[in-house]
Copies of this chain bind each other. A is one copy, B any other.
Amino acid sequence: MSVTFRRPTRQRAAVEALLMNIGDFMSAQDLHARLRAQGQGVGLATVYRTLQAMADDGGVDMLRTSDGEAVYRRCSTGHHHHLVCRSCGRTVEVEGPAVESWTDKISSENGFSDVHHTLEIFGLCASCTPTDPAAPAADADPVEAPAKD
């Protein structure tokens, strides 16, 4: 009901291609840097515009990191959410009929209409989870100042 027509351009193709290859969430700035490093110079403004357009047309997911930066990622299709490793960045797409129906129920119970939601789960993936007491992952600081700071 929207998906405005977009002219195929070299820069649009470059962005899509890179996004396809990477597979993980990337910020517009990241994308821009990689493209130029890769010789595929694309204006920063264009990267932003392209990414937003793709997100609008679907085909790309956008979410915000804890510090508010927007990051994009190619996505399969349909509505889903993510499980993101805060250590290595690995991402898993997950679906949950239970959650979807819950949000619908909650919304209508409270008289809200035309709703949409955001849901992301952040944690440590299997590889990044410290299994043995000698492999801390994210932020470790075992042997250090015993006094209170």
Contacts and interface: CB of A to CB of B under 8 A. Distances in A.
Interface of A: 64, 68-70, 83, 85, 92, 94, 96, 98-99, 102-103, 106-107, 110-126, 129
A88 to B, nearest CB: 11
> So how many copies of this chain end up in the complex?
2
Contact of A129 (B68, B111, B119): B111
Given A68-B70, A99-B99, A102-B96, A123 B129 contact: no
Contact of A118 (B92, B99, B113, B118): B118
Contact of A122 (B69, B94, B116): B116
Contacts of A129: 111-114
Contact of A121 (B70, B103, B120, B126): B103
Nearest to A109: B94
Contacts of A122: 115-118
Contact of A117 (B92, B110, B113, B119): B119
Contact of A120 (B110, B112, B117, B123): B117
A148 to B, nearest CB: 9
A107 B83 contact: yes
Given A68-B68, A70-B68, A99-B99, A121 B111 contact: no
Given A68-B64, A68-B68, A113 B102 contact: no
A110 B92 contact: yes
Contacts of A85: 112
